[in-house]
Amino acid sequence: QVQLVESGGGLVKPGGSLRLSCEASGFTFSDYYMSWIRQAPGKGLEWVSYISSSSTVIYDADSVKGRFTISRDNARKSLYLQMDSLRDEDTAVYYCARVKVPHYLADGMDVWGQGTTVTVSS
Amino acid sequence: EIVLTQSPGTLSLSPGERATLSCRASQSVSSTYLAWYQQKPGQAPRLLIYSASNRATGIPDRFSGSGSGTDFTLTISRLEPEDFAVYYCQQYGRSPWTFGQGTKVEIK
């Protein structure tokens, strides 16, 4: 079935780095825009970044610009988020999600992973 | 950046009642590029509505969306026990994408 599975979360010290992965199955991964969204403990959803199907279009939220890098490997059906210079306020559950319509940015996100938890603390 | 403001923050209703949730944008949302999501505790969000008024696959017809420009509404016609959750609106018409802060629908 259509599925996204995140991994790579954990405990990291402020200033440290972490790389999240999101593995897709059940659909043609290379056809879809993908996105990362996060949710701090007890808080709402915050969009983080998106990437086009061919990696030619990338956009990041101001809160992570210059520190986080989204990428993908279509051959491996995987989406990544490289997180550097981590701060306490980056502590959150990180979700990957698929944009609903193939090759199209402007649509809702219809498939979500279960999330992976990142904790930034000394 | 388009700021989305949802109201009320919490809605206390009984099963069978009608729920009306509001999402107001600080600027006009292009081409009704607005979505609604439902999130239950410990779960990932689920897409309910896209393009302001289109139900996503498998979403019951008691959920409906309406609106354009800066004012959008999610209506649940008759609340079922499984509908008590937090609901978020999201605009994807202009980057950066943004979410509202959420409306919690709780059992009265």
Distance CA B80, CA B82 (A): 5
> Percentage of chain A surpassing pLDDT 90?
96
By C-alpha distance, the chain A residue nearest B43 is A114
Contact assignment for B102 to A45 by CB distance below 8 Å = yes
* Residue B32: per-residue pLDDT: 85
**Per-residue pLDDT for A18 more than 90?**
yes
Residue appearing with tokens 């990338």: A58
**Per-residue pLDDT for A15 more than 80?**
yes
**Cβ-based neighbour number of residue B30 at 10 Å:** 13
By C-alpha distance, the chain A residue nearest B42 is A114
Best residue in A107, A114, A116 for a mutation probing chain B (most B CBs within 10 Å)? A107
The mean pLDDT value of chain A amounts to: 97
Chain A residues with CB under 8 Å of B1 CB are: 62
Contact assignment for B46 to A46 by CB distance below 8 Å = no
Regions in chain B scoring below 70 on pLDDT: none
Per-residue buried b or exposed e for B68-107, using 16+ beta carbons within 10 Å of the residue's own CB: eeeebbbebeebeeebbbbbbbbbbbbbbbbbbbbbebee
Strands (E), chain A: 3-7, 10-12, 18-25, 34-39, 45-51, 58-60, 68-73, 78-83, 92-99, 109-112, 116-120
The residue ranking higher by pLDDT, A36 or B31, is A36
Mean pLDDT of A11-34: 98
Contact assignment for A108 to B47 by CB distance below 8 Å = yes
Distance CA B54, CA B98 (A): 19
CA distances from A31 to A54, A93, A102 (A): 8, 26, 5
* Residue A104: per-residue pLDDT: 87
> Percentage of chain A surpassing pLDDT 70?
100
* Residue A36: per-residue pLDDT: 98
Contact assignment for B57 to A110 by CB distance below 8 Å = yes
* Residue B31: per-residue pLDDT: 76
